Structure 1
Protein backbone atom coordinates (compact mmCIF):
# COMPACT_ATOMS: atom_id res chain seq x y z
CA UNK A 1 0.00 0.00 0.00
CA UNK A 2 1.17 3.56 -0.70
CA UNK A 3 0.34 6.64 1.23
CA UNK A 4 -1.53 9.51 -0.29
CA UNK A 5 0.49 12.53 -1.22
CA UNK A 6 -1.63 14.58 1.16
CA UNK A 7 -3.06 12.26 3.83
CA UNK A 8 -6.15 13.48 5.55
CA UNK A 9 -4.70 12.31 8.83
CA UNK A 10 -1.64 14.51 8.42
CA UNK A 11 -3.11 17.67 6.92
CA UNK A 12 -3.26 20.54 9.41
CA UNK A 13 -6.60 21.76 8.00
CA UNK A 14 -8.20 18.45 8.93
CA UNK A 15 -8.38 19.75 12.51
CA UNK A 16 -10.90 22.38 11.46
CA UNK A 17 -12.66 20.45 8.70
CA UNK A 18 -16.34 19.53 9.25
CA UNK A 19 -16.71 16.14 10.91
CA UNK A 20 -18.89 14.70 8.15
CA UNK A 21 -16.50 15.78 5.40
CA UNK A 22 -13.49 14.49 7.36
CA UNK A 23 -15.07 11.10 7.99
CA UNK A 24 -16.24 10.73 4.40
CA UNK A 25 -12.73 11.41 3.12
CA UNK A 26 -11.22 9.10 5.70
CA UNK A 27 -13.58 6.27 4.77
CA UNK A 28 -12.47 6.64 1.16
CA UNK A 29 -8.84 5.97 2.01
CA UNK A 30 -9.10 2.27 1.33
CA UNK A 31 -5.48 1.81 0.11
CA UNK A 32 -3.77 4.08 2.65
CA UNK A 33 -1.44 2.18 5.05
CA UNK A 34 -2.36 4.64 7.78
CA UNK A 35 -5.99 3.53 7.47
CA UNK A 36 -6.11 -0.03 6.18
CA UNK A 37 -2.61 -1.47 6.54
CA UNK A 38 -1.36 -3.67 9.36
CA UNK A 39 0.60 -0.73 10.67
CA UNK A 40 -2.45 1.50 10.81
CA UNK A 41 -3.44 2.49 14.35
CA UNK A 42 -6.25 0.36 15.71
CA UNK A 43 -8.23 3.42 16.67
CA UNK A 44 -8.15 4.70 13.10
CA UNK A 45 -9.17 1.35 11.65
CA UNK A 46 -12.05 1.13 14.16
CA UNK A 47 -13.12 4.68 13.39
CA UNK A 48 -13.15 4.04 9.64
CA UNK A 49 -14.96 0.74 10.07
CA UNK A 50 -17.66 2.26 12.24
CA UNK A 51 -18.03 5.20 9.90
CA UNK A 52 -18.56 2.89 6.95
CA UNK A 53 -21.17 0.96 8.96
CA UNK A 54 -22.82 4.25 9.78
CA UNK A 55 -22.90 5.18 6.09
CA UNK A 56 -24.51 1.84 5.22
CA UNK A 57 -27.02 2.33 8.05
CA UNK A 58 -27.77 5.85 6.86
CA UNK A 59 -28.35 4.60 3.31
CA UNK A 60 -30.65 1.85 4.63
CA UNK A 61 -32.49 4.32 6.83
CA UNK A 62 -32.78 6.67 3.88
CA UNK A 63 -34.28 3.88 1.81
CA UNK A 64 -36.67 2.99 4.66
CA UNK A 65 -37.58 6.65 5.07
CA UNK A 66 -38.40 6.97 1.38
CA UNK A 67 -40.51 3.81 1.60
CA UNK A 68 -42.32 5.16 4.65
CA UNK A 69 -42.84 8.48 2.90
CA UNK A 70 -44.44 6.71 -0.04
CA UNK A 71 -46.64 4.73 2.35
CA UNK A 72 -47.62 7.92 4.17
CA UNK A 73 -48.43 9.57 0.85
CA UNK A 74 -50.53 6.57 -0.13
CA UNK A 75 -52.33 6.66 3.22
CA UNK A 76 -52.94 10.39 2.84
CA UNK A 77 -54.44 9.84 -0.60
CA UNK A 78 -56.58 6.99 0.73
CA UNK A 79 -57.72 9.18 3.63
CA UNK A 80 -58.59 11.95 1.19
CA UNK A 81 -60.59 9.50 -0.94
CA UNK A 82 -62.30 8.20 2.21
CA UNK A 83 -63.22 11.71 3.33
CA UNK A 84 -64.55 12.42 -0.14
CA UNK A 85 -66.72 9.29 -0.03
CA UNK A 86 -67.96 10.21 3.46
CA UNK A 87 -68.81 13.72 2.26
CA UNK A 88 -70.72 12.27 -0.69
CA UNK A 89 -72.59 9.87 1.60
CA UNK A 90 -73.47 12.71 3.99
CA UNK A 91 -74.69 14.81 1.07
CA UNK A 92 -76.72 11.87 -0.24
CA UNK A 93 -78.16 11.28 3.25
CA UNK A 94 -79.12 14.93 3.62
CA UNK A 95 -80.70 14.95 0.17
CA UNK A 96 -82.58 11.73 0.88
CA UNK A 97 -83.73 13.08 4.24
CA UNK A 98 -85.00 16.30 2.66
CA UNK A 99 -86.78 14.35 -0.07
CA UNK A 100 -88.31 11.99 2.50
CA UNK A 101 -89.46 14.91 4.66
CA UNK A 102 -90.95 16.57 1.58
CA UNK A 103 -92.76 13.34 0.66
CA UNK A 104 -94.07 12.98 4.22
CA UNK A 105 -95.25 16.59 4.22
CA UNK A 106 -96.87 16.09 0.82
CA UNK A 107 -98.59 12.92 2.03
CA UNK A 108 -99.75 14.74 5.16
CA UNK A 109 -101.15 17.58 3.06
CA UNK A 110 -102.91 15.10 0.79
CA UNK A 111 -104.34 13.31 3.80
CA UNK A 112 -105.62 16.58 5.24
CA UNK A 113 -107.14 17.50 1.90
CA UNK A 114 -108.83 14.11 1.62
CA UNK A 115 -110.20 14.43 5.12
CA UNK A 116 -111.55 17.87 4.31
CA UNK A 117 -113.17 16.52 1.15
CA UNK A 118 -114.57 13.51 3.02
CA UNK A 119 -116.29 15.80 5.55
CA UNK A 120 -118.01 18.52 3.50
CA UNK A 121 -120.29 21.10 5.14
CA UNK A 122 -122.82 22.49 2.62
CA UNK A 123 -124.80 25.66 3.22
CA UNK A 124 -128.44 25.23 2.21
CA UNK A 125 -129.68 28.57 3.45
CA UNK A 126 -128.87 31.52 5.63
CA UNK A 127 -128.77 29.46 8.82
CA UNK A 128 -128.92 25.84 7.56
CA UNK A 129 -126.02 23.50 6.75
CA UNK A 130 -125.97 19.89 5.60
CA UNK A 131 -123.30 17.29 6.25
CA UNK A 132 -123.58 14.44 3.70
CA UNK A 133 -121.63 11.39 4.91
CA UNK A 134 -120.39 8.63 2.63
CA UNK A 135 -118.45 5.59 3.76
CA UNK A 136 -116.85 4.90 7.13
CA UNK A 137 -116.58 7.59 9.78
CA UNK A 138 -113.48 6.95 11.89
CA UNK A 139 -112.23 9.07 14.76
CA UNK A 140 -110.01 11.29 12.60
CA UNK A 141 -112.79 11.98 10.13
CA UNK A 142 -115.29 12.57 12.94
CA UNK A 143 -112.95 15.11 14.54
CA UNK A 144 -112.61 17.00 11.24
CA UNK A 145 -116.37 16.88 10.73
CA UNK A 146 -117.10 18.10 14.24
CA UNK A 147 -114.58 20.92 13.96
CA UNK A 148 -116.01 22.18 10.68
CA UNK A 149 -119.60 21.94 11.90
CA UNK A 150 -118.91 23.74 15.18
CA UNK A 151 -117.02 26.48 13.31
CA UNK A 152 -120.03 27.00 11.03
CA UNK A 153 -122.43 27.12 13.98
CA UNK A 154 -120.28 29.56 15.93
CA UNK A 155 -119.08 31.84 13.12
CA UNK A 156 -122.20 31.96 10.90
CA UNK A 157 -125.00 31.62 13.43
CA UNK A 158 -126.23 28.30 12.06
CA UNK A 159 -129.52 27.27 13.68
CA UNK A 160 -130.15 23.97 11.86
CA UNK A 161 -127.71 21.22 10.87
CA UNK A 162 -128.71 18.23 8.74
CA UNK A 163 -126.62 15.09 9.14
CA UNK A 164 -127.39 13.04 6.03
CA UNK A 165 -126.56 9.33 6.38
CA UNK A 166 -127.88 8.27 2.99
CA UNK A 167 -124.39 7.23 1.90
CA UNK A 168 -123.72 5.21 5.06
CA UNK A 169 -124.86 1.60 4.62
CA UNK A 170 -123.79 0.38 8.02
CA UNK A 171 -121.88 1.63 11.06
CA UNK A 172 -120.24 0.00 14.03
CA UNK A 173 -120.55 1.09 17.63
CA UNK A 174 -117.43 3.27 17.48
CA UNK A 175 -118.70 5.16 14.42
CA UNK A 176 -122.13 5.60 16.00
CA UNK A 177 -120.49 7.02 19.10
CA UNK A 178 -118.62 9.54 16.93
CA UNK A 179 -121.89 10.66 15.34
CA UNK A 180 -123.60 11.09 18.71
CA UNK A 181 -120.68 13.20 19.93
CA UNK A 182 -121.13 15.46 16.90
CA UNK A 183 -124.86 15.81 17.60
CA UNK A 184 -124.30 16.60 21.27
CA UNK A 185 -121.61 19.21 20.54
CA UNK A 186 -123.85 20.97 17.98
CA UNK A 187 -126.79 21.10 20.43
CA UNK A 188 -124.55 22.63 23.09
CA UNK A 189 -123.96 25.55 20.71
CA UNK A 190 -127.70 26.02 20.23
CA UNK A 191 -128.24 24.35 16.87
CA UNK A 192 -130.92 21.78 16.12
CA UNK A 193 -129.45 18.70 14.45
CA UNK A 194 -131.56 16.49 12.20
CA UNK A 195 -130.51 13.08 10.93
CA UNK A 196 -131.75 12.03 7.49
CA UNK A 197 -131.41 8.94 5.31
CA UNK A 198 -130.86 6.57 8.23
CA UNK A 199 -130.98 2.91 7.21
CA UNK A 200 -132.21 0.06 9.35
CA UNK A 201 -128.73 -1.27 10.10
CA UNK A 202 -127.65 2.17 11.32
CA UNK A 203 -130.78 2.52 13.46
CA UNK A 204 -130.17 -0.84 15.14
CA UNK A 205 -126.61 0.16 16.03
CA UNK A 206 -127.75 3.48 17.53
CA UNK A 207 -130.46 1.81 19.58
CA UNK A 208 -127.86 -0.51 21.07
CA UNK A 209 -125.95 2.44 22.51
CA UNK A 210 -126.62 4.11 25.84
CA UNK A 211 -128.42 7.29 24.72
CA UNK A 212 -131.91 8.77 24.71
CA UNK A 213 -133.40 8.24 21.20
CA UNK A 214 -136.11 10.83 21.88
CA UNK A 215 -133.44 13.54 21.64
CA UNK A 216 -132.63 12.48 18.08
CA UNK A 217 -134.60 14.18 15.30
CA UNK A 218 -134.67 11.59 12.51
CA UNK A 219 -136.27 12.33 9.13
CA UNK A 220 -136.44 10.43 5.88
CA UNK A 221 -134.84 12.89 3.47
CA UNK A 222 -132.99 16.18 3.35
CA UNK A 223 -136.07 17.73 1.73
CA UNK A 224 -138.16 16.86 4.81
CA UNK A 225 -135.48 18.39 7.02
CA UNK A 226 -135.56 21.62 4.99
CA UNK A 227 -139.36 21.80 5.30
CA UNK A 228 -138.99 21.42 9.06
CA UNK A 229 -136.50 24.28 9.08
CA UNK A 230 -138.87 26.56 7.12
CA UNK A 231 -141.82 25.69 9.34
CA UNK A 232 -139.83 26.39 12.49
CA UNK A 233 -139.03 29.89 11.19
CA UNK A 234 -142.73 30.59 10.57
CA UNK A 235 -143.70 29.95 14.17
Structure 2
Protein backbone atom coordinates (compact mmCIF):
# COMPACT_ATOMS: atom_id res chain seq x y z
CA UNK A 1 0.00 0.00 0.00
CA UNK A 2 1.29 3.45 -0.91
CA UNK A 3 1.81 5.66 2.11
CA UNK A 4 0.35 9.16 1.87
CA UNK A 5 2.59 12.01 2.90
CA UNK A 6 1.44 15.39 4.15
CA UNK A 7 3.55 18.52 4.44
CA UNK A 8 1.31 20.03 7.10
CA UNK A 9 -2.01 19.64 8.90
CA UNK A 10 -3.54 21.98 6.27
CA UNK A 11 -3.12 19.19 3.70
CA UNK A 12 -5.51 17.07 5.79
CA UNK A 13 -8.13 19.40 7.27
CA UNK A 14 -7.68 22.55 5.21
CA UNK A 15 -7.23 26.13 6.43
CA UNK A 16 -9.49 28.05 8.78
CA UNK A 17 -11.62 30.17 6.48
CA UNK A 18 -15.03 31.57 5.61
CA UNK A 19 -16.55 30.03 2.49
CA UNK A 20 -17.15 26.65 0.86
CA UNK A 21 -13.86 26.11 -0.96
CA UNK A 22 -10.25 26.57 0.15
CA UNK A 23 -9.17 27.28 -3.43
CA UNK A 24 -11.93 29.80 -4.10
CA UNK A 25 -11.96 31.56 -0.72
CA UNK A 26 -8.87 31.01 1.44
CA UNK A 27 -6.52 30.97 -1.55
CA UNK A 28 -8.27 33.94 -3.15
CA UNK A 29 -8.09 35.98 0.07
CA UNK A 30 -4.38 35.24 0.39
CA UNK A 31 -3.74 36.28 -3.20
CA UNK A 32 -5.56 39.55 -2.56
CA UNK A 33 -3.60 40.23 0.63
CA UNK A 34 -0.23 39.50 -1.00
CA UNK A 35 -1.08 41.77 -3.94
CA UNK A 36 -2.10 44.56 -1.55
CA UNK A 37 1.19 44.18 0.35
CA UNK A 38 3.19 44.38 -2.87
CA UNK A 39 1.26 47.50 -3.93
CA UNK A 40 1.94 49.07 -0.55
CA UNK A 41 -1.17 51.26 -0.32
CA UNK A 42 -4.90 51.18 -0.92
CA UNK A 43 -5.63 51.51 -4.62
CA UNK A 44 -8.26 53.82 -6.02
CA UNK A 45 -9.39 51.20 -8.53
CA UNK A 46 -8.91 47.47 -9.03
CA UNK A 47 -9.58 45.44 -12.17
CA UNK A 48 -9.88 41.72 -11.42
CA UNK A 49 -9.62 39.34 -14.40
CA UNK A 50 -10.86 35.84 -13.56
CA UNK A 51 -10.03 32.71 -15.58
CA UNK A 52 -11.58 29.27 -16.05
CA UNK A 53 -13.02 27.93 -12.77
CA UNK A 54 -12.69 31.31 -11.06
CA UNK A 55 -14.53 32.94 -13.97
CA UNK A 56 -17.40 30.44 -13.86
CA UNK A 57 -18.06 30.33 -10.13
CA UNK A 58 -16.55 33.44 -8.57
CA UNK A 59 -19.90 34.74 -7.30
CA UNK A 60 -21.32 31.45 -6.05
CA UNK A 61 -18.13 30.33 -4.30
CA UNK A 62 -17.32 33.69 -2.75
CA UNK A 63 -14.13 34.26 -4.74
CA UNK A 64 -15.17 37.87 -5.33
CA UNK A 65 -15.59 38.73 -1.64
CA UNK A 66 -12.42 36.79 -0.74
CA UNK A 67 -10.24 38.61 -3.27
CA UNK A 68 -11.56 42.01 -2.22
CA UNK A 69 -11.23 41.09 1.45
CA UNK A 70 -7.60 40.22 0.87
CA UNK A 71 -7.08 43.51 -0.97
CA UNK A 72 -8.43 45.23 2.14
CA UNK A 73 -5.86 43.35 4.24
CA UNK A 74 -8.14 40.64 5.65
CA UNK A 75 -7.22 37.07 6.51
CA UNK A 76 -9.32 34.17 5.11
CA UNK A 77 -11.08 33.72 8.49
CA UNK A 78 -11.84 37.41 9.09
CA UNK A 79 -15.48 37.74 10.22
CA UNK A 80 -15.82 40.89 8.09
CA UNK A 81 -14.83 39.05 4.91
CA UNK A 82 -18.44 38.56 3.82
CA UNK A 83 -18.91 42.36 3.90
CA UNK A 84 -15.76 43.11 1.87
CA UNK A 85 -17.56 44.46 -1.20
CA UNK A 86 -19.51 46.90 0.95
CA UNK A 87 -16.38 47.88 2.88
CA UNK A 88 -14.47 48.47 -0.38
CA UNK A 89 -17.26 50.75 -1.57
CA UNK A 90 -17.19 52.68 1.70
CA UNK A 91 -13.41 52.99 1.39
CA UNK A 92 -13.89 54.42 -2.13
CA UNK A 93 -12.00 51.53 -3.71
CA UNK A 94 -13.64 50.88 -7.06
CA UNK A 95 -13.62 47.19 -8.05
CA UNK A 96 -14.39 45.72 -11.47
CA UNK A 97 -14.71 41.95 -12.05
CA UNK A 98 -14.00 40.71 -15.57
CA UNK A 99 -14.61 36.99 -16.27
CA UNK A 100 -12.39 35.86 -19.15
CA UNK A 101 -13.04 33.04 -21.62
CA UNK A 102 -9.42 32.38 -22.55
CA UNK A 103 -7.71 29.22 -21.38
CA UNK A 104 -5.25 29.84 -18.54
CA UNK A 105 -2.20 28.10 -17.13
CA UNK A 106 -4.28 27.03 -14.11
CA UNK A 107 -8.07 26.73 -13.57
CA UNK A 108 -7.94 28.93 -10.47
CA UNK A 109 -6.09 31.92 -11.89
CA UNK A 110 -6.67 35.63 -11.41
CA UNK A 111 -4.91 38.73 -12.71
CA UNK A 112 -5.29 41.85 -10.59
CA UNK A 113 -4.52 45.36 -11.80
CA UNK A 114 -4.31 48.04 -9.11
CA UNK A 115 -4.21 51.76 -9.82
CA UNK A 116 -3.66 54.83 -7.67
CA UNK A 117 -2.78 57.88 -9.72
CA UNK A 118 0.32 57.02 -11.73
CA UNK A 119 1.07 54.02 -9.53
CA UNK A 120 -0.03 50.88 -11.41
CA UNK A 121 0.67 47.25 -10.55
CA UNK A 122 -0.45 44.06 -12.28
CA UNK A 123 -0.06 40.71 -10.51
CA UNK A 124 -1.15 37.22 -11.56
CA UNK A 125 -1.94 34.73 -8.81
CA UNK A 126 -2.94 31.08 -8.73
CA UNK A 127 -4.82 29.24 -5.98
CA UNK A 128 -3.39 25.73 -5.99
CA UNK A 129 -5.59 24.17 -3.29
CA UNK A 130 -5.72 23.94 0.47
CA UNK A 131 -5.41 27.70 0.74
CA UNK A 132 -1.97 27.63 -0.86
CA UNK A 133 -1.10 30.12 -3.59
CA UNK A 134 1.52 31.00 -6.17
CA UNK A 135 2.40 34.35 -7.69
CA UNK A 136 3.29 33.74 -11.34
CA UNK A 137 3.69 37.24 -12.75
CA UNK A 138 4.36 40.78 -11.57
CA UNK A 139 4.07 43.65 -14.07
CA UNK A 140 4.47 41.22 -16.95
CA UNK A 141 7.58 39.62 -15.47
CA UNK A 142 7.29 35.85 -15.05
CA UNK A 143 7.93 34.57 -11.53
CA UNK A 144 7.34 31.39 -9.58
CA UNK A 145 6.68 32.41 -6.01
CA UNK A 146 5.00 29.96 -3.68
CA UNK A 147 5.87 32.07 -0.61
CA UNK A 148 6.81 28.76 1.02
CA UNK A 149 10.28 30.07 1.91
CA UNK A 150 11.19 33.40 3.53
CA UNK A 151 10.42 35.99 0.85
CA UNK A 152 10.94 39.75 0.75
CA UNK A 153 9.12 41.89 -1.82
CA UNK A 154 10.48 45.43 -2.11
CA UNK A 155 9.02 48.23 -4.22
CA UNK A 156 11.55 50.98 -4.80
CA UNK A 157 12.71 53.73 -7.11
CA UNK A 158 14.80 52.44 -10.01
CA UNK A 159 18.14 54.05 -9.15
CA UNK A 160 21.77 52.91 -9.33
CA UNK A 161 22.92 51.20 -6.15
CA UNK A 162 19.54 50.08 -4.80
CA UNK A 163 20.33 46.38 -5.24
CA UNK A 164 23.70 46.87 -3.55
CA UNK A 165 22.14 48.72 -0.59
CA UNK A 166 19.55 46.00 -0.02
CA UNK A 167 22.04 43.17 -0.49
CA UNK A 168 24.37 44.76 2.06
CA UNK A 169 21.64 44.70 4.70
CA UNK A 170 21.21 40.95 4.21
CA UNK A 171 24.97 40.50 4.37
CA UNK A 172 25.17 42.50 7.61
CA UNK A 173 22.41 40.31 9.09
CA UNK A 174 24.24 37.14 7.97
CA UNK A 175 21.22 36.12 5.86
CA UNK A 176 21.96 34.20 2.67
CA UNK A 177 20.01 35.15 -0.46
CA UNK A 178 18.73 32.12 -2.37
CA UNK A 179 17.19 33.89 -5.36
CA UNK A 180 16.72 37.52 -6.39
CA UNK A 181 14.50 38.86 -9.16
CA UNK A 182 14.26 42.52 -10.16
CA UNK A 183 11.79 44.07 -12.59
CA UNK A 184 10.83 47.69 -13.29
CA UNK A 185 8.07 49.69 -14.93
CA UNK A 186 10.58 51.82 -16.88
CA UNK A 187 14.01 53.35 -16.42
CA UNK A 188 13.97 55.53 -13.31
CA UNK A 189 10.39 54.53 -12.37
CA UNK A 190 9.16 52.04 -9.77
CA UNK A 191 10.97 48.72 -9.57
CA UNK A 192 10.17 45.51 -7.71
CA UNK A 193 12.79 43.38 -6.02
CA UNK A 194 11.80 39.83 -4.97
CA UNK A 195 14.28 38.09 -2.68
CA UNK A 196 14.02 34.54 -1.31
CA UNK A 197 16.35 33.78 1.60
CA UNK A 198 17.61 30.64 3.32
CA UNK A 199 17.01 32.00 6.81
CA UNK A 200 14.03 33.63 8.49
CA UNK A 201 14.87 37.13 9.69
CA UNK A 202 12.15 39.75 9.95
CA UNK A 203 14.43 42.29 11.66
CA UNK A 204 16.09 43.18 8.35
CA UNK A 205 12.68 44.23 7.01
CA UNK A 206 12.53 47.44 9.05
CA UNK A 207 16.02 48.36 7.88
CA UNK A 208 14.96 47.88 4.25
CA UNK A 209 11.83 49.98 4.86
CA UNK A 210 14.01 52.81 6.20
CA UNK A 211 16.20 52.92 3.11
CA UNK A 212 15.85 56.04 1.01
CA UNK A 213 13.87 55.53 -2.22
CA UNK A 214 12.02 52.42 -0.88
CA UNK A 215 8.25 52.82 -1.27
CA UNK A 216 7.26 49.64 0.53
CA UNK A 217 8.73 46.35 1.72
CA UNK A 218 6.86 43.21 2.75
CA UNK A 219 7.93 39.92 4.29
CA UNK A 220 6.30 36.53 3.83
CA UNK A 221 7.51 33.39 5.53
Greater strand share, structure number? 2
TM over 0.5: no
Relative contact order, CA 8 A, sep 6+: which one is greater? 2
TM range (shorter): under 0.3
Normalised by the length of structure 2, the TM-score is 0.25
Normalised by the length of structure 1, the TM-score is 0.24
Higher-Rg member (1/2): 1
Greater helix share, structure number? 1
